[in-house]
Chains A and B, each alone.
Chain A
Amino acid sequence: MFLALREITRSRTRFLLLGGAVGLLVFLIVFVQALTGALIRQFIGAIDHQSGTVLVYSADARKNLEGSRVPLDTVSAVAAVPGVADAGPLGEGTFSVQAGGALRDTVLFASVVGKPGAPTTVIRGRLPHADFEAVASDGNSDKGFRLGATVRVEHSSRPMRIVGIARDANYSVSPTLFTTFDTYQQVRKDANPAAVAVMPSAVAATTDPGVTPAEVRDRINRAVTGVEALTRDQAVAESPGVASVGESIGAIVLLCFFVVVVVAGLFFLILTVQKAQSLTLLRAIGVRAGALVRALLVQVVVVVLGGVVIGGLLGWLALNAAGNSLGARVEIGSLLQTGALVLGLSLVAALGAARRVLRIDPVRATVPGSLDP
């Protein structure tokens, strides 16, 4: 332990460089994970945090709520399926909304009061009780979507009052307003006066006790034609873009972990080779191989922990302190998890160097000239 720490203080530059490299890689992992998590929450938070546990899209929608339209009678057809406790129309659309003195892309999520589809994460205020009341997604107050504020959908005859704020409830990376289905129909007609019909985007349903959403989904798909029912979790995971973004970013994070392991493992291997003479001498004067391996592992732990602290700090500065439009933040839990994984993998990678230490033969120190470089 003493040797390990003394070496670190004496050879600050190389350990700082390694700590810096590990720190930047940890930062990269944390940064990518935080951005991806936030991006996905911003894409589908509204679906994830509405009360329908089964969502029924039109069959041609390709699991895309924006591209789905179902006839109104689909609601009653879904409600009649055994295991469905309640069902209601769900409207979704992107509108231009005057808020905070500017025109903003805003998503409207609409359900019938008391029916499935309402937001489940209201943190301030209340759910809408009447038409032209809305719950807004949090994190958009700087854009005028504050509790008590009024906003106006472009071409709409009436302003909309924000009566509640819901956490993680955005859709399509835009401010999102949860309102009544009648409000949605009205603003759709106002925006498109020639509209011949305003159909629900989907049907939101809840299930009877003792029946799983997956069972109800399968029953709906068998009983109702022209639709594709999905459980809420499935609708989130299989939303267009979410699966591909998740897989792509997963591959990037995996590569980052690989780089950390390769860099840390090879650095300590090189260091061990460079110190071979000193280590042989230490072995010759009675220091046990186990003690030298422990010293090596202590250095791995110190460097990786230093790197995790650097990476975490950089992440905090880049995301939490500087702020960002996605609301991405470094979470302590996620940082610790990443740090633990990096540490574990680095210790495994250091086994090569440890093996080298264990193979050192102290007798070599007694052979004349054997310690010369």
Chain B
Amino acid sequence: MKNALRELRRRPGRFVPVTAALILLTVLLLFLGGLLDGLYIGATGALRAQRAAVVVYSADANDSIIRSRVNETTRAKIERTPGVTAVGGLGISLLGAKVPGETTLADAAVIGYQRPPTGVPAVPPPGDAWADRRLESFGVRVGQTLRLGPREVPIRVRGWVEDTNYLLQGALWVAPETWRGAQNASRPDAPFAPGEFQVVVADGPGDPAALARRIDRATGNETATLTKDQAVLASPGTRQQKSTFNGIIAVTFVVVGLVVALFFALLTLERSPIYGVLKAIGTTTRRLFAGVLVQALIVATAAFLVGGLVTLGLTSVLPARIPILLVGSRAITTFGGILLTAAIGGAISLRRIARIDPVAAIGTGT
């Protein structure tokens, strides 16, 4: 172990190649993870913030909020469902917003709500909105009046909320009548009547899946109710993005393992005579192998630290339209994954170390 650390200290140049390759792979992993998180968090914030256990869609909407429509009659049935303790309407319109003093339209999601989600204050007065900080990048400021959609429906920004966006569009949380006004003015082919919403969020004690089933039974299957987690994954593209990116990340981890295995296999080959001598004077295979593992883990840690800094630098200069977001939990899992694959890669050398014969080594004159 001591020898392994001493070698790292005295001959760091020997470990530069594998560290350089691992730095690049770390950047790749953090970049991929950051993209996945950015896409997921930016697309699903409005649903993740909901306090309710379930989201109720109309059965014909195929789990799409935009196509769903729950009228007052259906809502009354949901409210009467045994176990339902609270119900609130939710409606979302994706519209362009004119920002005073800016030439570029802001991507906005006007969200009408009745039950405040986590981090969103009580329903504002008609015409006002709680804006998500994402809209700051479009030049939006508190107190400004934005003009939404082709009819330029005015909405005044009252204050900020965070992580509540929908489909990468900046959320504007408004009173139900404000949302309905913006929707009906901008989408005359899909107007909503007073009291009508796209979906209804409902709460109740116990298992959310059981609550969802009870609601659908109570409405005579006019509705298709999803638990909050299911609703988050039902957001357009979310499931496909997750599986695609996770596939790429998994392959990258395999490459990390292979690169480490390749490097330490070469190193072990080079050190075979020395290992022979060390074995001849009583060093166990276990100790030699532990030294290789320690070196692999230290190299992986150093590469992760430098790769992390490089990624931070890169993301700060990337254009804002690339939805990359670095979160702590992703960094921790990436670090854990790199350590694990580096350890597995280093372990490939175990067989070769075990096979080194000290007698043969002495015989060669080394």
Which residues on A are within 8 Å of B, measured CB to CB? 13-14, 17-18, 20-21, 24-25, 27-28, 31-32, 35, 39, 58-62, 66-67, 69, 94-96, 103-105, 154-155, 172-173, 188, 191-192, 194-199, 226, 240, 243-244, 247-248, 251-252, 255-256, 258-259, 262-263, 266-267, 269-271, 274, 325-326, 373
Contacts of A259 in B (CB 8 A): 21, 24-25, 28, 255
Tell whether, in the assembled complex, residue B96 and residue A96 are in contact, meaning their CB atoms are under 8 Å apart: no
Tell whether, in the assembled complex, residue B265 and residue A17 are in contact, meaning their CB atoms are under 8 Å apart: yes
Q: Looking at A18, A31, A61, A270, which has the most chain B CB atoms within 10 Å of its CB? A: A270
Tell whether, in the assembled complex, residue B190 and residue A255 are in contact, meaning their CB atoms are under 8 Å apart: no
Q: Looking at B17, B66, B189, B273, which has the most chain A CB atoms within 10 Å of its CB? A: B189
Q: 9 pairs across A/B with beta carbons < 8 Å? A: A17-B262, A20-B258, A21-B258, A28-B248, A172-B236, A192-B189, A197-B189, A244-B323, A267-B262
Question: How many angstroms from the CA of A58 to the CA of B366 in the assembled complex?
Answer: 80
What is the minimal beta-carbon distance from B156 to any residue of chain A, in angstroms? 19
Tell whether, in the assembled complex, residue A247 and residue B319 are in contact, meaning their CB atoms are under 8 Å apart: yes
Given A60-B149, A256-B28, A258-B24, A27 contacting B191 (CB threshold 8 A) = no
Tell whether, in the assembled complex, residue B60 and residue A103 are in contact, meaning their CB atoms are under 8 Å apart: yes
Contacts of B188 in A (CB 8 A): 69, 195-197, 199
Tell whether, in the assembled complex, residue A262 and residue B67 are in contact, meaning their CB atoms are under 8 Å apart: no
Question: How many angstroms from the CA of A69 to the CA of B190 in the assembled complex?
Answer: 12
> Which one of A14, A17, A18, A195 lies within 8 Å of B190 (CB-CB)?
A195
| Chain B contacts with A in 24-48, Cβ cutoff 8 A | 24-25, 27-28, 31-32, 35
Contacts of B17 in A (CB 8 A): 262, 266-267, 269-270
Given A96-B67, A195-B191, A226-B150, A27 contacting B251 (CB threshold 8 A) = yes
Contacts of A194 in B (CB 8 A): 191, 193
Tell whether, in the assembled complex, residue A271 and residue B67 are in contact, meaning their CB atoms are under 8 Å apart: no
Contacts of B270 in A (CB 8 A): 274
Contacts of A17 in B (CB 8 A): 258, 261-262, 265, 348
Question: How many angstroms from the CA of A14 to the CA of B248 in the assembled complex?
Answer: 25
Residue B61 interfacial (CB < 8 Å): yes
Tell whether, in the assembled complex, residue B254 and residue A155 are in contact, meaning their CB atoms are under 8 Å apart: no
> Which one of B105, B262, B273 lies within 8 Å of A373 (CB-CB)?
B273
Total chain B interface residues with beta-carbon distance under 8 A: 59
Contacts of A25 in B (CB 8 A): 255
Question: How many angstroms from the CA of A198 to the CA of B190 in the assembled complex?
Answer: 9
Secondary structure dominating the interface of A: helix
Tell whether, in the assembled complex, residue B21 and residue A94 are in contact, meaning their CB atoms are under 8 Å apart: no
What is the minimal beta-carbon distance from A50 to any residue of chain B, in angstroms? 21
Tell whether, in the assembled complex, residue A21 and residue B262 are in contact, meaning their CB atoms are under 8 Å apart: yes
Tell whether, in the assembled complex, residue A105 and residue B62 are in contact, meaning their CB atoms are under 8 Å apart: yes
Residue B294 interfacial (CB < 8 Å): no
Q: Looking at A173, A226, A259, A270, which has the most chain B CB atoms within 10 Å of its CB? A: A259
Question: How many angstroms from the CA of A173 to the CA of B239 in the assembled complex?
Answer: 12
Residue B332 interfacial (CB < 8 Å): no
Contacts of B259 in A (CB 8 A): 21, 263
> Which one of A14, A24, A35 lies within 8 Å of B266 (CB-CB)?
A14
Residue B306 interfacial (CB < 8 Å): no
> Which one of A28, A59, A94 lies within 8 Å of B67 (CB-CB)?
A94
Question: How many angstroms from the CA of A181 to the CA of B284 in the assembled complex?
Answer: 80
Tell whether, in the assembled complex, residue A271 and residue B94 are in contact, meaning their CB atoms are under 8 Å apart: no
Closest to A13 in B: B265
What is the minimal beta-carbon distance from A261 to any residue of chain B, in angstroms? 9
Contacts of B98 in A (CB 8 A): 60
| Chain B contacts with A in 254-285, Cβ cutoff 8 A | 254-255, 258-259, 261-263, 265-266, 269-270, 273
Tell whether, in the assembled complex, residue B193 and residue A14 are in contact, meaning their CB atoms are under 8 Å apart: no
Tell whether, in the assembled complex, residue B262 and residue A14 are in contact, meaning their CB atoms are under 8 Å apart: yes
Tell whether, in the assembled complex, residue A24 and residue B255 are in contact, meaning their CB atoms are under 8 Å apart: yes
> Which one of A32, A59, A188 lies within 8 Å of B189 (CB-CB)?
A188
Tell whether, in the assembled complex, residue B31 and residue A251 are in contact, meaning their CB atoms are under 8 Å apart: yes
| Chain B contacts with A in 183-209, Cβ cutoff 8 A | 186-191, 193
Closest to B314 in A: A251
Question: How many angstroms from the CA of A199 to the CA of B150 in the assembled complex?
Answer: 13
Question: How many angstroms from the CA of A269 to the CA of B263 in the assembled complex?
Answer: 12
> Which one of A69, A96, A325 lies within 8 Å of B186 (CB-CB)?
A69
Residue B237 interfacial (CB < 8 Å): yes
Closest to B270 in A: A274
Residue B81 interfacial (CB < 8 Å): no
Question: How many angstroms from the CA of A255 to the CA of B31 in the assembled complex?
Answer: 10
Question: How many angstroms from the CA of A196 to the CA of B270 in the assembled complex?
Answer: 80
> Which one of B61, B191, B258 lies within 8 Å of A196 (CB-CB)?
B191
Tell whether, in the assembled complex, residue B321 and residue A24 are in contact, meaning their CB atoms are under 8 Å apart: no
Closest to B261 in A: A17
Tell whether, in the assembled complex, residue A67 and residue B94 are in contact, meaning their CB atoms are under 8 Å apart: yes
Those 9 A-B pairs whose CB atoms lie nearest each other, nearest first: A266-B17, A60-B96, A17-B262, A21-B258, A96-B62, A154-B60, A195-B189, A255-B28, A198-B189
Contacts of B186 in A (CB 8 A): 69
What is the minimal beta-carbon distance from A112 to any residue of chain B, in angstroms? 18
What is the minimal beta-carbon distance from A197 to any residue of chain B, in angstroms? 5
| Chain B contacts with A in 1-57, Cβ cutoff 8 A | 17-18, 20-21, 24-25, 27-28, 31-32, 35
